[in-house]
Amino acid sequence: MRDTGISFILNGEKVTYEGKANDRLLDVLREHFHLTGVKCGCKEGECGSCSVLLDGQLANSCMVAMGRVQDSEVTTIEGYSKTERFKVLDRAYAAVSAVQCGYCIPGMVLASECILSANPHPTEEEIRIGISGNLCRCTGYNAIVKAIKIASEEGNGLW
Amino acid sequence: MVNGIVATDLKEALIVRAQGNYTPYGGGTDLMIKSDRNARYLFLHKVPEMKRIVEDDRYIRIGSSCTFTEVLQNPRIPQLLKEAVSQIAAPAIRNLGTIGGNIGNGSAKADSALIFFVSDSLLRLASVRGERVLPIKDFYLGRKKLALSEDELIVEVLMPKKGLDNYYYKKIGARDALAISRVSFAALLEISEGIIRNCATAFGAVTEVVFRRPDFDALLIGKTLEEAKHQKDSYLAAYEKALVPIQGRISAEYRKVVCMNLLKDFLEKNGI
Amino acid sequence: MDISKSVKKKDHEPKMNGSAMYVGDYPTDGVLFGKLLHSTRAKAKLIDIQVPALPAGYFVIDKNDVPGVNRVHIVKDDTPVFAEGTVEYIGDPILMVAGPDQQEVDRILNGIQVTYEDLTPVLRIEDADTVFFDYTIEKGNVQKGFREADKVYEETFRTGYQEQAYLEPQGVVGFVHDNRVTVHGSMQCPYYIHGAVAKAMGFEASQVQIVQDVTGGAFGGKEDYPSIIACQVAVASYKAGKPVRLIFERREDMEVTSKRHPSLCTYRVAIKDGKVTTMDIDVKFNGGAYTTLSAVVLQRGIICASGVYDIDNLHIRGKAVKTNTVPCGAYRGFGAPQTFFAVEMMMNHIAQDLGKEPLAFKLAHMVKQGDSTSTSGKYHFPVPLPAMVEELDKISGYREKRALYAKQTGRYRRGIGFSAIFHGAGFTGSGERDLIKAVVKLHKYVDGKVEILASNTDMGQGLKTTFSKIVANELNVPLDRIVITNPDTDRVPDSGPTVASRSLMVVGELLRRATINLRSHWKDNEDQVVEEHFKEPDFVIPFSLDTFKGDAYPTYAWSVDAIEVEVDTLTGVSKILGSYGVFDVGTPIDENIVVGQMEGGFLQGIGYASIEEMNTDGSGRIRNNSFTDYAIPTSMDVPHLVAKLHVEKYPDGPYGAKGAGELPLVGAAPAYVGALEQALHSPLNHAPFTTEDTMNVLMKEKK
């Protein structure tokens, strides 16, 4: 029987991965597809640095085996940063200098997207729940929460 | 694909499972922590029989491949289960993690398992040889030991519909998110026409298997609130004697004190 | 130009869109993957090491391959590059395996058999028999103070490990080529690494190039440890003839890299006429297996041991002791969190005993401008603590809540705690003048762009932006005319390490002066370079490490914190209702950046006080070696955290700025534990103070 690769949509493009179904999505994105914006902080699903969107939902790519993404859509920060919504978040994060060392940021940005697409005008509590799986050691979270709030105010109906 | 199969229906999943060399993959959030280079995964996220949440006259039937997020978003799911599931880990884990995986891990720390224990839920297991339904309390044989045959899969959880409205739930972890339970407690009390129709209590994370003693709870069933007050001392004494928490990173003494405090608070809040 | 006005950070974009290159992001074609074999014993002789047959292209690198000295220079030279006869802690690096395939490297590593002869390790401060460093501070007449005392108090305080938990694990890549070695990676101090690698390789300074990559957090954890792994990859590359990449796994990083020193401090305090006159303090820091930075951490710790208080008679004896555990090093605060915790709690307990309110009691003892410091130096500048206390009271409602929460009962009990601390920025004593001798350069290009050449690193604290703002401000040009890249020792002079909260205050000021110099000699369309050397401010009273007398620091940053908690007596869990801090770091060079530093540091300090518990097990191994078992705060844990700035300008800092980075962490633990004291009606004496600890106190209360 001929083994076909694992085909899925990566940042809007149809791709095929010829490796094993038990390979880690995080490793494949970084090493095979050279998408190093997806960071590795722990490889145990505890920090959120490796966050991607899997069929539009926030997922820790270190916890996903390649077989799981067959026929799914995966979006990384590289793909997301080309969107209009990203521009709003970019301005908001910049306005409050929410980016310090930057390692948590790709994950935080994708988490921000998920918060706002679930609710374009979230409460602070909802924002904090939405980023509760993304650890940040630099900012104390206040600036990131503020940035997401600003994005929700200036979203201009994008969400 | 190499080293993996995405099952498209239950029949296919069971045939592969019976082959014996595939590990069932629910959400991956426990499996992927230990990176096994040679693992072969049986992906279950596309099996329709395991993705349903339906209701019949007695049960809410939750497919074992339903993610925690799907459980939270479904209006059929009782509030008690939602409360427990909403405190699991963090959003990204909840988007992937499944009910079947949570139970299949065999751990007394599994937040949804506690709720299934206290509600006396059932599990439907299936294999190429057929199906069987058994109470969840009979499914856990010991720490990480399940009454699951090598060719079986958990298909769905059958959660009794009634008697879940008056509940008590508390989870204590190391912090407010991304925390594994250190002590958890769930309880149900159903009173009608002044009589306690049902009392169910269960403790998670403190012993090797979820601690559920229906024989203790039976002391209060069928009683009026007044009568139950007279039973209170015996009830608490029974728990005090029988509940022996494990010593781990968190001391057994701490666990014991908190368990008894929560149990007492549950009784007091209900006027006992 | 209002220097404090926030701007868009210079490194915002690449970090935001994922294009920023951290060391682990560089392509690995032609690069060997390295992995270390760490000792699994706390103390043992290495009897034999059996290595399986190596496939072609795979190497094992150990002490025999070190071309220079098998020592990593970190202040002293006792840390080995690779273990020699013995191993001194679980994690001590024995050898490295390097090769083209990561999985194969892992397989070879797992196949290596090490025969140890176990020796008896020392694991606790109390059992230590080797003292690395021993210092004494004396002032006034301690014997007289105790003789004349109305009452003498004695108490012991304990603090635990803290893991820096930077989100990006440690990592370096080393490449020997053309008789030179280049190491790039995640680091704070390129020139520290430069010196260490030159020594280990037996190379001249000109043969070594160290380049910082975008660094995903450090907080002191990448001050000394990168020197060790840099030496290791340099040696490995030398042997293998190819670049070697060493990136730590998270569990590995948590188990074997440097942490905050655990401490044991005993205070004997005399009061007379209701005031503290005398403190006799014994400070012990657990240095771990090698000396690394313990000397300097201990120095700062003992200097801070009498707190913000004017105490006439002092005797402070500090020791850093050896144990067979992970060598402790730098972490934001650097010795101060430990002793400030102790002195603040001690003052709480004395106040309580005298029937006084801790805040009022502390205010009555606070230093003022002109007072002498613990080392008989001087507080040359205004001490704004009383004004900051009023600001703190306004935002936190401290006084009202303190009165309201006296003797709470019921299931939920609240409490509010207070702390006051300082942080002396820059190297202790004359370190800036005699050890670092910082030099900066500005290179003006023909097109008018100016490049900043300094060795200080941006690790998230915004140095690229703040340095650029200073230069742009003096030249009155837009920010994008200023060029600043990650430091490369081939191109930048040594302006000193990025530690001790010195970068803005010391190097920023050098850059300001250099820019004024450039401006006054500016020639259009010409390529120009100016250089500026550190000059110690005139007013500084010289400091001697022999006598521990003089100005330990030229000036101080100040903070006051109030933390409000609610304890659930059924479960022992405490919820933080509010964390409030007022911070004086002088003029903020960028308001968002400085407030971001205050908020981030404050939360780290709260973690240190509450949920960040790290212990070794019976064998000396760090048990909490993952993010699952070492809990740092999430966005849910402290939703109400308020940081306000109070500005007391420092004339010798750029536009009045003082050192800022470490200050916000230091006062959190005593404020948090002080709040618990009120809620639990009991004096407390250690940090972290966990849920279990709380329950233990509540259970004792019942008896």
Q: Three-state SS across C470-515?
A: HHHHHHCCCHHHEECCCCECCCCCCCCCCCCCCHHHHHHHHHHHHH
| Mean pLDDT along residues B32-50 | 94
Three-state DSSP class for residue A89 = helix
Beta pairing, strands B4-6 & B41-43: parallel
> Is C171 within a domain?
no
A52 min Cα distance to partner chain B (Å): 9
Q: Per the CB < 8 Å rule, is A70 touching B1?
A: yes
Residue type, C354: L
Structural domain A83-153, CATH architecture: Orthogonal Bundle (1.10)
Three-state DSSP class for residue C9 = coil
Q: In this prediction, what percent of chain A has a pLDDT beyond 90? A: 96
Element (H, E) at B264: helix B252-269
List Cβ neighbours of A75 (8 Å cut-off, separation of 6 or more): A11, A12, A52, A53, A56, A110
Q: Are residues C652 and C518 in the same domain?
A: no
Cβ–Cβ under 8 Å, residues B160 and B59: yes
Question: DSSP state, C39?
Answer: P
Question: Which residues sit opposite B62 in a β-bridge?
Answer: B53, B157
**pLDDT digit string (tens) for B246-256?**
998 899 999 99
Cβ–Cβ under 8 Å, residues C333 and C602: no
> Is C162 within a domain?
no
> Is C613 within a domain?
yes
Q: How far apart are alpha carbons C117 and B243 in whole angstroms?
A: 43
Q: How far apart are alpha carbons B214 and B198 in whole angstroms?
A: 10
> Is C148 within a domain?
no
A33 touches chain C (CB under 8 A): no
Specify the CATH class of B48-160 in words. alpha beta
Across the interface, of C631, C633, C692, the residue whose CB is closest to B250 is: C692
Tokens of C603: 């939360």
Q: Could you tell me which chain A residue has the CA closest to the CA of C18?
A: A37
Q: How far apart are alpha carbons B45 and B155 in whole angstroms?
A: 12
- Cβ contacts of A122 on chain B, cutoff 8 Å: none
CATH level 3 topology of A6-79: Ubiquitin-like (UB roll) (3.10.20)
**pLDDT digit string (tens) for C636-680?**
999 999 999 999 999 999 999 999 999 999 999 999 999 999 999
- Residue labelled with tokens 């009392």: B199
Residue type, C148: E
* Closest to A54 in 3D by CA, of A31, A38, A43: A38
Structural domain B167-269, CATH architecture: 2-Layer Sandwich (3.30)
**pLDDT digit string (tens) for C543-594?**
999 999 999 999 999 999 999 999 999 999 999 999 999 999 999 999 999 9
* Closest to B25 in 3D by CA, of B108, B121, B125, B105: B105
- HSE of A112, CA atoms in CB hemisphere, 13 A: 31
- Which pLDDT score, from 0 to 100, does residue A1 have? 40
Across the interface, of C570, C637, C699, the residue whose CB is closest to B265 is: C570
What are the start-end ranges of the H helices in C127-272?
A: 142-147, 190-201, 225-240, 250-256
Q: Per the CB < 8 Å rule, is B174 touching C611?
A: yes
> Is C137 within a domain?
no
B96 touches chain A (CB under 8 A): yes
Q: How far apart are alpha carbons B268 and B262 in whole angstroms?
A: 10
> Is C593 within a domain?
yes
Q: Per the CB < 8 Å rule, is B176 touching A132?
A: yes
* Closest to C341 in 3D by CA, of C535, C162, C104: C162
Q: Which partners does chain B have (≥3 C-beta pairs < 8 Å)?
A: A, C
Q: Are residues C579 and C507 in the same domain?
A: no
Cβ–Cβ under 8 Å, residues B138 and C597: no
What's the CA angle centered on B49, arms B43 and B55, to 5 degrees?
140
Question: Which band of pLDDT confidence, cut at 50, 70 and 90, is reported for residue B35?
Answer: confident
A124 touches chain C (CB under 8 A): yes
Q: Are residues C499 and C559 in the same domain?
A: no
**CATH 1.10.150.120 boundaries in chain A:** 83-153
Q: Are residues C561 and C675 in the same domain?
A: yes
Q: Per the CB < 8 Å rule, is B258 touching C629?
A: no
- Cβ contacts of C573 on chain B, cutoff 8 Å: 172
Q: Are residues C83 and C184 in the same domain?
A: yes
Element (H, E) at C419: strand C412-424
**CATH 3.10.20.30 boundaries in chain A:** 6-79
- Domain count across chain C: 3
Question: DSSP state, A31?
Answer: I
> Is C503 within a domain?
yes
Q: What is the CATH number of the domain that holds C485?
A: 3.30.365.10
Q: Please say if the pLDDT value at position A3 is more than 80.
A: no
Q: Could you tell me which chain A residue has the CA closest to the CA of C641?
A: A142
- Which pLDDT score, from 0 to 100, does residue B37 have? 87
Burial (CB < 10 A; 0-12, 13-18, 19+), residue B137, is middle
Q: Are residues C269 and C238 in the same domain?
A: no
List Cβ neighbours of C192 (8 Å cut-off, separation of 6 or more): C74, C223, C224, C227, C497
In what side-by-side order are the strands of the sheet with B183-192?
B167-172, B183-192, B195-204, B211-212
- Which pLDDT score, from 0 to 100, does residue C1 have? 73
Q: Which of C507, C533, C559 is the C-terminal boundary of a domain?
A: C533
| Range of the structural domain that residue C181 is part of | 28-117+176-243
**Grouped pLDDT means (10 residues each) for chain C, 703 residues:** 95 98 98 98 98 97 98 96 97 98 97 98 97 98 98 98 98 97 98 98 98 98 98 98 98 98 98 98 98 98 98 98 98 98 98 98 98 98 98 98 94 98 92 95 98 98 98 97 98 97 97 98 97 94 95 97 98 98 98 98 98 96 95 97 98 96 98 98 98 96 83
Q: Per the CB < 8 Å rule, is C592 touching A143?
A: yes
B1 min Cα distance to partner chain A (Å): 5
Q: Are residues C554 and C670 in the same domain?
A: yes
B42 touches chain A (CB under 8 A): no
Instruction: Write out the DSSP string of C291-356.
Output: -TTHHHHHHHHHHTTTTTB--SEEEEEEEEEE-SSPPP---TTTTHHHHHHHHHHHHHHHHHHTT-
Domain regions of chain B by residue span: 48-160, 167-269
